[in-house]
């Protein structure tokens, strides 16, 4: 039997700590589960339960919200899993305090295996040839946390709450979501007007305003993965950034703070600012375009939703 040398133990302990979840929303599980059991005494379908769990967890995390609006990260598609952008959006939702409902291919109970990695019970990623046999379409779970670490398939894992296993959480590798997610859904807290915009004559303290923006903005990401998009010189990137802002609950607050600071450049609160002022159109370099830019684009793909007449 091999033994770990004293010099290796601190390194192993440090690796285990780094493998702990970066975001972990499990502390709300008892309250959410009790609420669902009281509100829906009859057994809910797994997907409905997961959506209800996600909504209730967001309501508990954001008590100032008046409602939770739906946000589909990945539309229903059995033929492929989540792409990199959709995986990043799920992670961004968790960073913002919102759980994510997952529906997709899942192993049968007899073939569901786990393997420990750095103290985390991690689901094994089955091979694609098992689809339709021991890998069936139609199971739902909730993603309530995540961690990034090179030891895990895909560079990290999600903390998963399975409605069929009350009180038990497991790790789901990023690779699994990339391969087998049929759909991903989350919610956005719609803040009450008084929480988003101060009453006339009642100015928010700049520190409180910045804190509110950081906690609720759709672009809020500690890894700064949106920076290149929101400060791009490409007009289509600017349109994508504006699309992200268009349904953000703190859009007006973000814009007002940016104007107060006279931000020199970039998209703030759904508007493009240059030298501290709103500019209607961001022109690219070179000759004018032969065809007009679209008025609106999809925030993920950049494909036009409506063109300029």
- Mean of the pLDDT values across residues 208-225? 76
Whether this prediction's pTM lies above 0.75 is answered by no
Residue 294 is predicted with a pLDDT of 66
Q: What are the tens digits of pLDDT across the range 45-83?
A: 888 889 889 988 888 877 766 677 788 899 888 889 999
In the prediction, which pLDDT does 86 show?
92
- Quickly list DSSP for 231-250: T-S-HHHHHHHHHHHHT-TT
Whether 288 shows a pLDDT value over 60: the answer reads no
- DSSP β-bridge partners for residue 257: none
Is residue 249 within 8 A of residue 188, CB to CB? The reply is: yes
Which residues, 6 or more positions from 226, have their beta carbon under 8 angstroms from its beta carbon?
219, 241, 244
Bridge-partner residues for 169, per DSSP? 161
**Averaging pLDDT over each range in 110-119, 169-178, 193-202, which range is the top one?**
169-178
pLDDT: is 116 or 279 the higher one? 116
Taking the C-alpha atoms of residue 282 and residue 165, their distance in angstroms, rounded to an integer, is 51
Predicted pLDDT of residue 5: 46
Q: Tell me: the pLDDT tens digits for 85-127?
A: 999 999 988 988 889 999 999 999 899 999 999 989 999 999 9
Tell me how far apart the alpha carbons of residues 11 and 13 are, in angstroms, rounded to a whole number.
Answer: 5
Helix 251-261 vs helix 206-216: crossing angle, to nearest 10: 130
- The pLDDT of residue 35 is 82
Contact 161, 112 (CB under 8 A): no
């Amino acid at each position: 039997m091999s033994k770990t040398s004293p010099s290796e133990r601190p390194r192993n302990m440090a690796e285990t700590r780094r493998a702990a979840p970066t975001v972990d929303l499990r502390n709300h599980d008892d309250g959410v589960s009790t609420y669902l059991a009281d509100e829906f005494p009859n057994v809910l379908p797994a997907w409905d339960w997961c959506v209800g769990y996600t909504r209730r967890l967001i309501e508990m995390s954001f008590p100032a919200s008046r409602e939770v609006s739906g946000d589909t990260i990945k539309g229903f598609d059995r033929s492929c899993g989540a792409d990199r952008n959709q995986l990043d959006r799920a992670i961004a939702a968790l960073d913002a305090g919102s759980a994510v409902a997952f529906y997709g291919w899942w192993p049968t109970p007899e073939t569901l295996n786990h393997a420990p990695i750095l103290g985390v019970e991690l689901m094994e990623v089955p091979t694609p040839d098992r689809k339709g046999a021991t890998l069936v379409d139609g199971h739902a779970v909730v993603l309530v946390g995540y961690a990034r670490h090179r030891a895990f398939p895909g560079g990290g894992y999600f903390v998963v709450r399975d409605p069929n296993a009350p009180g038990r959480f497991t790790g789901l590798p990023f690779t699994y979501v990339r391969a087998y997610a049929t759909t991903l859904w989350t919610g956005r807290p719609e803040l009450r007007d008084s929480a988003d915009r101060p009453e006339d004559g009642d100015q928010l303290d700049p520190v409180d305003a910045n804190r509110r923006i950081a906690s609720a903005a759709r672009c809020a990401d500690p890894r700064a993965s949106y920076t290149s998009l929101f400060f791009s010189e490409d007009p289509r990137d600017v349109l994508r950034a504006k699309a992200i802002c268009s349904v953000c609950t703190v859009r007006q607050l973000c814009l007002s703070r940016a104007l107060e600071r006279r931000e020199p450049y970039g998209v703030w609160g759904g508007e493009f600012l240059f030298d501290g002022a709103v500019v209607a159109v961001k022109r690219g370099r070179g000759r004018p375009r032969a065809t007009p830019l679209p008025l609106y684009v999809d925030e993920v793909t950049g494909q036009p939703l409506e063109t300029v007449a």
